[in-house]
Amino acid sequence: MKDKFWTWLMIVLVAIVMAGALTSAIRFMRVDDLTARLLGLGTLVLVLLGVWFLYHAIAFGLRTERLGRILDAEGSLPEDTVERSPGGRPNREQADAQFERYKAETEASPEDWRSWFRLAYAYDVAGDRARARKTMAKAIAMERASRARS
């Protein structure tokens, strides 16, 4: 719950900054100077890109959370059993063993989004955030497709 508070606080702060940048962009575009208008247009493009990225990051988080709630209700949410150092680093041997277990599960059942969710979790614990995100995106897409077929 504490993490959600800080996440939403950061989202609100980013939205405030984007609103200020949008206001500046509009003001620059109203000035009768080509350089100012180009600066305003560039700022507007950056704000629009920021809104797009923010939307997709929030949507990804909400979809991941939704799948987590489904797995929790089914009693198949992966447990965090990997020990951590005082600095928060996972025990490498335990993380690798957990990864291998979830990798084997996914290879045995590649059509099940649940196994992909757990594999994404294992990637995250192992510190491979890029693969964790890619794998979670696959789990989300598979779950959506299975819902569409139902």
Query: In this structure, are 7 and 66 located in the same domain?
Result: yes
Query: In this structure, are 32 and 96 located in the same domain?
Result: no
60-100 pLDDT tens trace? 999 999 999 999 999 999 888 888 888 888 888 999 899 99
Give φ, ψ of 127 to 5 degrees. Answer: 90, 5
Quick one: pLDDT at residue 140?
97
- Whether residue 141 is contained in a domain is answered as yes
Four-point Cα dihedral 14, 18, 19, 25, nearest 10:
170
- Per the structure, the complete domain to which residue 111 belongs is given by 92-149
Query: In this structure, are 18 and 61 located in the same domain?
Result: yes
Token pair for 123:
């990637």
The whole-model pTM stands at 0.82
- Whether residue 84 is contained in a domain is answered as no
Query: In this structure, are 55 and 98 located in the same domain?
Result: no
Domain finish residue from 45, 74, 103: 74
With both helix axes pointing from N to C terminus, report the angle between 34-74 and 129-149 in degrees, rounded to the nearest 10.
70
How many structural domains is the chain composed of?
2
| 90 beta partners | 84
CATH code (residue 122):
1.25.40
- Closest C-alpha to 87, from 127, 123, 133, 118: 127
- What is the total residue count of the chain? 150
17-30 pLDDT tens trace? 999 999 999 999 99
